[in-house]
Amino acid sequence: MKVNILKRFIWSLSNFKNVAKLRSEKISKPIVYLITLMFLLAIPYAAIMAFDSQQAVNQISDSAISDELTGHFDGETVNLDEDRSLVEEGNTSIAFTEEGFEQAEGNVVLYFQSEQATLVTDRNHYSFLYDDVISSGDFTLQQIVDGLDQFILTLILVSTIIYFFISFVIKLAEVTLLGFAGFIGNKSLNREAQFSGIWKLAVYVATLPTIMVSIIQWTGIQQNLSGIIFWLGSFIIMYLVLKHIPKQTEQ
């Protein structure tokens, strides 16, 4: 049956009777659907990371610390003109030792180490080598922040691509496990469906639970429940979909 990808998505959210009809479509369609779904879900991931990192960089740049801190980069390691282990202003912390990093109380922390630095926010950690953001010679913290602003854009792009591929592989494995569970459950329901057809249905069955779990991950609320929500929701929806498949006729 010919059904466009948008209609299949809408059906996956609520119209389980029509989803059951998709078990007979070509295998390429659910695969393309799954790739598209995971790609679209990677966009908010990138947007949240971009907002988070930009907010952190701006917070450091706007602080008085950015004009005070200086140092020298010899091409491999950084030597800072600073004897303290920690400098703080408002919610911004600049740590120069492991002890200072552990004591930092700001919601944005820039942790300097000998060969790399790490920008820490409430949501993410962004590690970078010094030669990615500054050239050899004397520097100020503001120069590092300016270079970091550009570097993070590249980091976000690479991270999003990696996130997409990993998410797709994991989702493919989850869909396959869900397909096996549906196939086993179908033995008691006695519906006219082979494993290949149930696997196709599993792709669409996983849509709503996947979106719910993604929202939980984006908001950072109760992430330890995301696995339970996904599998419980998937099993319930799979049951509802299978119920709409005609029973096998007795020979």
Q: Tell the residue number behind the tokens 């820039």, with chain if given.
A: 110
Distance CA 121, CA 139 (A): 23
Beta carbons within 8 Å of 110's beta carbon, 6+ residues apart: 60, 92, 93, 94, 95, 117, 118, 119, 120, 141
Question: Which secondary-structure segment (H or E) carries 175?
Answer: helix 141-189
Distance CA 133, CA 116 (A): 11
How many of the other CB atoms lie within 10 Å of CB of 77?
Answer: 12
Question: According to the model, what pLDDT value does residue 213 have?
Answer: 92
Question: According to the model, what pLDDT value does residue 151 have?
Answer: 86
Q: What is the pLDDT tens value at each position of the chain, 251 positions in all?
A: 678 999 999 999 989 999 999 998 999 999 999 999 999 999 999 999 889 888 888 888 888 777 778 888 888 788 877 777 888 888 888 888 888 888 888 888 989 887 888 999 888 888 888 888 888 888 888 888 888 878 888 888 999 999 999 999 999 999 999 999 999 988 888 888 899 999 999 999 999 999 999 998 887 666 678 889 999 999 999 999 999 888 876 55
**From residue 17, how far is each of 6, 126, 204, 212, 245 by CA, in Å?**
16, 46, 12, 21, 8
Q: What angle do CA 40, 45, 47 make, to 5 degrees?
A: 95
**From residue 124, how far is each of 41, 84, 143, 204 by CA, in Å?**
18, 25, 22, 31
Question: According to the model, what pLDDT value does residue 191 have?
Answer: 85
Burial 89-126 (b: 16+ CB within 10 A, else e): beebbbbbeeebbeebebbbbbbbbeeebebbbeeeeb
Question: Which secondary-structure segment (H or E) carries 71?
Answer: strand 70-73
Question: According to the model, what pLDDT value does residue 43 have?
Answer: 95
Question: According to the model, what pLDDT value does residue 249 have?
Answer: 67
| Cβ atoms 219, 248 nearer than 8 A | no
Q: Tell the residue number behind the tokens 């989702």, with chain if given.
A: 171
Distance CA 200, CA 25 (A): 8
pTM score: 0.82
Distance CA 207, CA 34 (A): 9
Question: According to the model, what pLDDT value does residue 65 have?
Answer: 76
End-to-end CA distance of the chain, in Å? 28
What is the DSSP annotation of 98-111?
HHHHHH--SSEEEE
Residue 82 burial (C-beta neighbours within 10 Å; 0-12, 13-18, 19+):
middle
Which candidate, 181, 162, 167, 192, places its Cα nearest to that of 238?
Answer: 181
Structural domain boundaries in the chain: 5-47+158-242, 52-157
Beta carbons within 8 Å of 217's beta carbon, 6+ residues apart: 223, 226
Question: According to the model, what pLDDT value does residue 222 have?
Answer: 63
